[in-house]
Amino acid sequence: ESFFEQDLPLAGKKALVTAGPTYEAIDPVRFIGNHSSGKMGFAIAEELKNLGAHVTLISGPTHLAASKGIDVIKVTSADDMLNACTDKFNESAIVVMSAAVADYTPKTIATQKIKKAEQEFSIELKKTVDILATLGQKKSSKQTLVGFALETNNELENAKAKLLKKNLDFIVLNSLQDQGAGFATDTNKVTILSKGGDTNYFELKNKQEVAKDICSLVVEHQKSV
Residues contributing to the site for Ca ion (CB under 5 A): 103
Q: Which residues inside 153-182 make contact with ligand CTP, applying CB under 6 A?
A: 162
Q: How many CA atoms lie within 13 A of 53 on its CB side?
A: 28
Tell the smallest beta-carbon distance from residue 154 to Ca ion (Å). 15
Provide CB contacts within 8 A for 19, sequence distance 6+.
36, 38, 40, 41, 42, 44, 45, 57, 58, 59, 60, 62, 64, 98, 99
Q: Per-residue string for binding with ligand CTP, 116-135, x by CB under 6 A?
A: ------------x-xxx---
Taking the C-alpha atoms of residue 190 and residue 170, their distance in angstroms, rounded to an integer, is 12
User: What sign results for the dihedral spanned by CA atoms 223, 173, 129, 97?
Assistant: negative
Q: Pairing between strand 144-151 and 94-97?
A: parallel
- Residues counted in the chain: 225
95 binds ligand CTP (CB under 6 A): no
Q: Rule CB under 6 A: is residue 192 a binding residue for ligand CTP?
A: no
Out of ligand CTP, Ca ion, none, what residue 147 binds, judged by CB under 5 to 8 A for its kind, is ligand CTP
Q: Residue 112: which of 26, 31, 27 has the closest Cα?
A: 27
Q: Is 149 in the site for ligand CTP (CB under 6 A)?
A: yes
By CB under 6 A, is residue 77 in contact with ligand CTP? no
Binding-site residues from annotation: 103, 113, 148, 162, 166
Q: Residues annotated in the binding site for CTP, as ranges?
A: 103, 113, 148, 162, 166
Q: Give the Å distances, CA to CA, from 190 to 10, 117, 199, 205.
A: 23, 44, 11, 9
Quick one: which of 16, 40, 44, 97 contacts ligand CTP (CB under 6 A)?
97
Active site residue 188: no
Q: Considering CB distances under 5 to 8 angstroms, the limit depending on partner class, which of Ca ion, ligand CTP, none binds residue 97?
A: ligand CTP
Contacts of 171 (CB under 8 A, 6+ apart): 146, 147, 148, 149, 159, 160, 162, 163, 192, 193
145 binds ligand CTP (CB under 6 A): no
- Minimum separation from the CB atom of position 90 to Ca ion (A): 25
Residue 162 binds which one of Ca ion, ligand CTP, none, with CB within 5 to 8 A depending on kind? ligand CTP
Q: Which residues are catalytic?
A: 34
Which chain residues interact with ligand CTP by CB under 6 A? Answer: 78, 97, 99, 101, 103, 128, 130-132, 147-150, 162
